[in-house]
Amino acid sequence: EIVMTQSPATLSVSPGERATLSCRASQSVGSNLAWYQQKPGQAPRLLIYGASTRATGIPARFSGSGSGTEFTLTISSLQSEDSATYYCQQSYSPPLTFGGGTKVEIK
Amino acid sequence: QITLKESGPTLVKPTQTLTLTCTFSGFSLSTSGVGVGWIRQPPGKALEWLALIYWDDDKRYSPSLKSRLTITKDTSKNQVVLTMTNMDPVDTATYYCAHSTHIAFDYWGQGTLVTVSS
């Protein structure tokens, strides 16, 4: 089973600043990595797939990068509505696995 | 427009079997490459993938729960059913179904909270 590790667990960022979230896989997943945003009481929403492709309707301030075992989600200019928990997930090999999440707070 | 909705009991007793139904629209589970998965989330915790069924009836399960899970599809009804046996209080969670294209879960249901308690 591929273990996904996210860091940090919590990130506090001022509005307009950059937020950088990390996700590490225990073995290579190629580019088979997705990022999701989840707000309290809501279902997750797909942000990024294929490590770097934005899903439909996702603002350009969200970008993904990386391949193999190291991945990054960047929010270039944090908005108040970006306060949420973000999860990475590998689709390279079953069992599909999620990271533990990074909670982004607005400072 | 793709939509999915979970349905099933909100409360089950320990040792009982849980049956959840995902009813969807906007796509067909007979289309090549399409799948429907189940993911759960205990209160305040992270997402956990449970099972996935593909258009060709290929089924995948979480190894840690495989002995307790069964996923089936009814293409004519646009439904996917997940059964989980021998429920325990630790299985208390919000259960989501989601549309999958081998790449990611791009559409999610609203989720249904299942509480396991006597």
For testing contact with chain B, the best of A46, A47, A58, A92 (most B CBs within 10 A): A46
Burial of B43 (0-12, 13-18, 19+ CB in 10 A): exposed
CB A100 within 8 A of CB A88: no
- Residues on chain A touching B104 (C-beta within 8 angstroms): 34, 46, 49, 55, 89, 91
The arithmetic mean of pLDDT across residues B89-97, rounded, is 98
pLDDT score at B102: 76
Q: Tell me: pLDDT of B101 over 90.
A: no
**Do the chains contact at B103 and A91, CB–CB below 8 Å?**
yes
Cα–Cα dist A82/A104, whole Å = 8
Distance CA A58, CA A5 (A): 24
* pLDDT per residue as tens digits for the range A76-99: 999 999 999 999 999 999 899 999
Report the percentage of chain B scoring pLDDT > 90.
97
Q: What percent of chain A has pLDDT over 70?
A: 100
Q: Which of A38, A87, A95 minimises the CB distance to B62?
A: A95
Among partner residues A34, A96, A101, which is closest to B46 by beta-carbon distance?
Answer: A101
Q: Rounded CA gap, A92 and B3, in Å?
A: 25
CA–CA gap between residue B9 and residue A12 (Å, rounded): 38
Average pLDDT, chain B: 97
The average pLDDT across B66-82 equals: 97
Looking at residue B103, its pLDDT comes to 84
